[in-house]
Amino acid sequence: MTRSYRATVEYDGTAYGGFQIQPGRRTIQGELERAVHRITQQFVRIAGAGRTDAGVHGRGQVISFRAEWSHGCEDLQRAMNAVLPRDIAVRKVAFARDRFHARFSASSRVYVYAIYNGPVRAPFLSRFSHHVARPLDLSAMAEAGSYLEGEHDFAAFGHPPTGDSTVRVAHHVEWGCGVPAWGNCPGTDSDKLVQFEIEANAFLRGMVRRIVGTLVLVGTGSLTPAGFSEILESREIRRSGAPAPASGLCLWRVRYGQNGEVGSPECSWMS
């Protein structure tokens, strides 16, 4: 019997050309589809909630697909993990309504960007953070980031993946300092770890990385919070800062509907 499934996927995106299948490149979607094919002998098209770019990570990526599988969801999870590369893991699998779509059913996505702010780089964190040696003014960055909340035209920070609209709604924007979202790292000075969290209904291509790159200019004193606001209002991408490296960015969580259902390892799927 063919059923609809949804799953939470975690991955280290360092070695991949992004989530979405691309000719001649190794991708997260491609590896997931290859895994399902190996265990079911069916070609299955997988949809993802977020089209993370090359080198970007995922901890709460949500996928949906339809497949014929005669065993339970936990058996499907174990079978997929047995054949997936070690840098990709399926954290949870559940049945889904037929109308559920990982991307189009999502109400918002949460991204976290991590910065290691210290004079000497931290190789242990290099795969999952961006090293900024110059001291950062976190209060100025927080002030500038506050201008992002609400509905705006974000054309200054990215390109639409489809269509022409660059208007998005940012529900929550926050800078924090201390233990990173993924947990404490032994031997690392936690006070040098800075992270940016943004939740929005949808994102433009490269949007979070350009926002962070521009906010770092604020943090180092090269740009004022008011200047950041002017860049946002200008809708001119040439005025934004260079994109921050992909290594620091992670798709952390996906929310669905008014019930606040989330795609994360801790979530409880609802039918």
Q: Which active-site residues does the annotation give?
A: 53
Amino acid at 39: I
Measured over the CA atoms of residue 245, residue 162, residue 10 and residue 172, the dihedral's sign is positive
